[in-house]
């Protein structure tokens, strides 16, 4: 089990912009799309076409889940360094 964040897509959002906002990297955009398309709570447009529409609930898992399940869909590049406010950098996994 793992915790997911839930985000309601807004007009103009893309999987890349959501990936950058929540995962600190656009590299996870395609993996995030695939995760949501295969999600048990995916809406009709998402499940059928992987289409992001305003009002759609987007489920954002930890990067480790995306890396395990959709490694081939993650763009190359350095994984982000996660630094909590006033804290020490955390490991990426």
Q: What is the pLDDT of residues 62-86, one digit of tens each?
A: 999 999 999 999 988 655 445 455 4
Q: What is the DSSP letter of 73?
A: G
| CB hemisphere CA count around 87 (13 angstroms) | 8
* Below-50 pLDDT ranges, the chain: 80-81, 83, 86, 93
High-pLDDT (> 70) share of the chain, %: 82
Angle at the Cα of 50 (from 60 to 72), degrees rounded to 5?
Answer: 70
Q: What domains appear along the chain, each with residue ranges and CATH number? A: 5-73 (3.10.350)
> For residue 93, what pLDDT is reported?
47
């Amino acid at each position: 089990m793992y915790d997911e964040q839930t985000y309601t897509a807004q007009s103009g959002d893309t999987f890349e912009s959501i990936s950058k906002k929540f995962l600190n990297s656009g590299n996870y955009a395609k993996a995030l799309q695939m995760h949501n398309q295969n999600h048990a709570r995916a809406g009709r447009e998402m499940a059928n076409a992987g289409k992001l529409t305003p009002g759609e609930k987007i489920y954002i898992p930890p990067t480790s889940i995306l890396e395990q399940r959709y490694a081939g869909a993650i763009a190359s590049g350095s994984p982000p360094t996660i630094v909590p406010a006033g804290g020490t950098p955390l490991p990426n996994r």
